[in-house]
Amino acid sequence: MNILCVCGNGIGTSVLLKINTESVASDLGMDVTVTTSDAGSAKGTANMSDLVLTSAELAPELEGTTTPVEVVANFMDTDEIKTILEKYSD
């Protein structure tokens, strides 16, 4: 599964979300590739992913993509990330 983590600039909080997503996915036994992006580029690259994780503030910018967009309220909350990933694990 390819997961895209999106934040405003693509280098700060999205990297924290990426690290936590990789950790949670590993715990769940999921095979994932996690990448990061800034909000401006994300709409163009979102369709190449299976799932997009972002904040509530940025989610509206990704409307119209064919990829599911999930809002993460707290990028450091691994339990929240786990709840989201469990919906997509096979």
Q: Which 3 state secondary structure label does DSSP give 24?
A: helix
CA distances from 15 to 6, 57, 63, 64 (A): 9, 17, 22, 24
Q: Is 7 a catalytic residue?
A: yes
Which one from 5, 7, 17, 58 is the annotated catalytic residue?
Answer: 7
Q: Which 3 state secondary structure label does DSSP give 21?
A: helix
Give the catalytic positions in this structure: 7
